[in-house]
Every structure is written in C-alpha cells, then in structure tokens.
Amino acid sequence: MARIFISPSKYVQGPGELNKLGEYVSAYGKHALVIISSGGIKRFGKTLENSFEAANLSFTYDNFNGECSQDEIDRLVAVYKANGTDVVVGVGGGKIFDTAKAVASNVDAPVVIVPTIAATDAPCSALSVIYTPEGQFKEYQFFKSNPNLVLMDTEVISKSPVRLSVAGMGDALATFFEGRACTRSEAGTCAGGTSTQAANALAELCYNTLMDEGVKAKLALEAGVCTESVEKIIEANTLLSGLGFESAGLAGAHAIHNGLTAMPETHSMYHGEKVAFGTLTQLVLENADELYEVLDFCVEVGLPVTFAQLGVSDASYERVLEVAQLACAENDTLGNMPFTVTPEKVAAAMLAADAYGRAALAEE
C-alpha cells in the first residue's frame, strides 16, 4: 500500500481574518451558499455581509438544523441547486463543517471552511462523520479532495467559550497515539494509504504542543486574551491534528468515541471531550507509558476522565459492553490497533480508565 499525505489547499490563521472572507471566497465562486446556525448569523452576520459586499460577492444563507445527517445533507444540496450557488461556505463548528464538505462533494463545488471555534480537527479533512437524525454515529463519508480553504480568525476563536477550545485539545490529544498505533500495525489511513513520516511528525508535534502550551492557553483564554500559546493551541487543534489524524490514521480513541454515542447521556458532551476519554481507554488497552501524563493533563485542563464527568451515572458492565461492541464494529477503526481487540477487552479498558480517572480526581 502506498504512503499518502493529503491536506487542504490553503490554511489561513490570524486575528481579524473573518473580515476578509469575501475576498478569499471570491477566488472560488460568485454566489456562495453559507451554511451557518441562527446563533452564528446573530454573532457574525454583519461581518460576513460587509465582507461579501466589499468583494462584490452574492450569497445565500441557510440555517443548519443541528445534526450532520444524510437528511440534512440532501436538504442543503437541494438549496444549493435551487439558488444557483457555485461555492459552499461552512461557518461555525464541526458538524457544520462536515455538512458543508458533504454538500460540496455532492455538487462538485469548492468549499471554504470557517471555524468560529477550535473544538475539533474536522476543518482540514476530506471526510465527514455522519450521524443519524437522533445523533448516533452512522458512518464516515470520504471525499475526493480536502477543503479549498480553511480560515481561522483567532480573535473570534479566542472569544468563544473556553470549554470549546479545551474540547479541541481533547480531540487533538488522540492524534499522536492513534497515528502511532496505525504505523505499528501498518493500517490504512483516511487518506487512502499508509502513514508518512511527515504525518507522524506533525502528530507528534501536535502532542508536544498540547503538553507545552495547553495549560497556558487555557489560562489565557479564561483571562479573555489571545496569546502566543493560544495561537499555537488553535493551530494544534485544527491544522496539526487535522493533518495528523487524516494522514497518520485513526485507531482506538475515535472508535470508542463513536461507541459512546450509544449512551444518550453523552450527547450533550462535545466530540473532543468524548475523544479524550477514548484516548485514555486506548492507552489502557496498550498499557502505554504515557497514560499518567495524559491523565494528569486531562485533569489539569478539565477534560473528562470518568463516566460521571461524561454524564453517565449508570456505567454497568452490560452498558459499557454495548458501547464497546459498537466501537468494535467492522466499519470503525479499532481494528487498526496493532493487536487483536475484542469488545470485552475494550469494556474492561473503559472501566479501568474510569477507575484511574476517579483516583486522579480524588488526589486533586
């Protein structure tokens, strides 16, 4: 199998970049379908309108319905065709990005991704995570190319709720360990081949950045400021993690996240918060040396390390085994671990991770 590395055509990060969105989008089309939430329109609508008008670019807003489901994708494809648009712009969070990418792929249009938060590594990738309308994981959809542009306005992102950026750290936390597992097993990656040295190096840089800058960035964000640590964490959460997971591979952590969607109580938790617990579980499965370093980091920045913190009061073996069985599904990525994994092993590792988390919290 060939080694493959993929990435977005362009990545832009800096303060005030949202004001230039129209200028950037005009390179790809003349009439944009802007997929955004109603809250996003309230917060950023005027900025977007001024930017598009300055670039002499027409646009059509459409409110995102809240779930990246096939029904929502199909609905927005119809909106795209009905309005004569020629470029898709997704503004907001991870499920909006994934929906925008899927819509653009369906109509073979360029797509511009504009995160207003740094909560996931979804912006840069050529795939979308598809859920049922009720919010349970369904499948991954893969596309022929990555976004044409990812635009990160760090001034906007640094004003978003701190919990969202911390959740992004949780998503990014998995990147190095999942990539390492795929390299050891020679598993295929989301890019369609095996991992490259470049992808593994970016994944390791992502992890080191989290360890070096994560706590400092959280404190700065809580103070309402955008420092160099914040800039580095935004890049780690988005670019380093995005390139790392896609071209180095997914393994245990994200499959366990997907399994957790079987517990309705976890639906209120952010993607990266569940991925962080999945990372701890993967490290327990591996009996990895980094387990306690990662556990301490999660506790320090406020990522969940127990079922109770995920909102689950009934973590009986039977319920956890149901999660583990979903995580071990053939269409998911636990099979990329470099050893045989069974639902029983995963359930045991999840319960052990919960026990380690409770012990760490008791020491606080």
- What are the residue numbers of the active site? 171, 254, 257, 271
Answer whether 211's CB lies under 8 Å from 144's CB: no
Half-sphere exposure of 225 (CA within 13 A, CB side): 7
Q: What are phi and psi of 221, to 5 degrees?
A: -65, -40
Q: What are phi and psi of 33, to 5 degrees?
A: -90, 115
* Identity of the residue numbered 323: V
Q: DSSP letter string over 187-235?
A: ---TTSSBPPHHHHHHHHHHHHHHHHHHHHHHHHHHTT---HHHHHHHH
* Cβ neighbours around 350 below 10 Å, total: 27
At 186 the three-state DSSP class reads coil
Phi-psi map region of 208: left, alpha, beta (phi>0 left; psi -120 to 50 alpha)? alpha
Tokens 């994708």 sit on residue: 73
For residue 35, give Cα distances in angstroms to 81, 93, 94, 176: 14, 11, 12, 31
Give the separation between CA 305 and CA 299, rounded to whole angstroms: 7
> What is the enclosing helix (H) or strand (E) of 63?
strand 58-63
Give the separation between CA 358 and CA 315, rounded to whole angstroms: 13
Answer whether 74's CB lies under 8 Å from 130's CB: no
Instruction: Give start and end residues of each alpha helix (H) in the chain.
Output: 21-25, 38-54, 70-82, 94-107, 154-157, 162-185, 197-222, 228-235, 241-248, 252-260, 271-286, 291-301, 317-327, 343-362
